Amino acid sequence: RGMMELLTYFGSPEEVYFARSEEYAHAYAGDIGPLLDKDLSPAREIISKCADAEARILTIGDGAYPARLKNIYDPPIVLYVKGKLPYIDEEIAVSIVGTRSCTPYGVKISERMGYEITRTGGLVVTGLAKGIDTAAARGALRAGGSVIGVLGCGIDVVYPYSNSRLYSDVSEVGALISEYPPGTKPSAANFPARNRIMSGLSLGVLVVEAPEHSGALITASKALEQGRDVYAVPGNIDADACKGSNALIMEGAQPAISGSAITEAYALM
């Protein structure tokens, strides 16, 4: 939020950069030390890494920046994009999330949901983690559509490494995006922040399988804060992997039994 406060106060990144210390003190309650450091070499290094990764930099002031994402409480100031980012604001974008430690049923249903949402005109957004995320992306790609992969690391860092081919396929037909500069390693602290971008890009979030205290539940919580819809696939009541997602339904999430039903509901709006 600090950077958004500065941009709102000064009007542009250039004005933020050239402001004086007393101006920063009026606009920002945090530590102004980093703002007084005018060394641009780190920025030049990031630009060079983006060129090496064949990625572009999208700022919140860019016309191509999704308005849907810009309107959340704490939008990312910068997005690093590899691939072709569709015009999100016109897409029936649905985030599919769930546990990494999913059941075979969860893998099957996640891939089916990704396939059905894509085949009926939707756009799948995923974190490209192993498990539910990976299955959803594969289903969407199998349906011949594009996928948006939102990462908790730099776009040139593959995590998990076993998804190297999937990362390549997604960037070929869709886009990989991250708010973290190239070279940023995955960190547990990055993923809750990543989740707000996934829900912010989407009209709704679909939880396929999630145990209690799952990161997927954080995404669902962010979705509700942002005024997005939350769906959950009914799961085995005896499976730990489904306790969180089943609880969402008990708390009012919409039960999801097909991807087409989700996209058709939005198409009628």
Kind of pairing between the strands at 56-59 and 122-126: unpaired
Confidence band, pLDDT 50/70/90 cuts, at residue 8: confident
188 CB-near residues (< 8 Å, 6+ apart): none
DSSP single-letter state for residue 185: P
Over residues 194-212, the mean pLDDT reads 97
Which pair of tokens denotes residue 167? Answer: 């990362």
The string of pLDDT tens digits covering residues 28-79 is 888 888 888 999 999 999 999 999 999 999 999 999 999 999 999 999 999 9
| Stated pTM of the model | 0.94
CB neighbours of residue 59 within 10 Å: 14
Q: What is the pLDDT of residue 1?
A: 57
Residue-wise burial string across 201-227, b where 16 or more C-beta atoms lie within 10 A, e elsewhere? bbbbbbbbbbbeebbbbbbbbbbbebe
pLDDT for 3: 82
Of 197, 179, 68, nearest to 127 by C-alpha is: 197
Query: What is the arithmetic mean of pLDDT over 81-97?
Result: 96
127-161 per-position pLDDT tens digit? 999 999 999 999 999 999 999 999 999 999 999 99
Q: Is the pLDDT of residue 126 over 70?
A: yes
Q: What does each C-alpha distance from 225 to 145, 200, 201 come to in angstroms?
A: 29, 10, 13
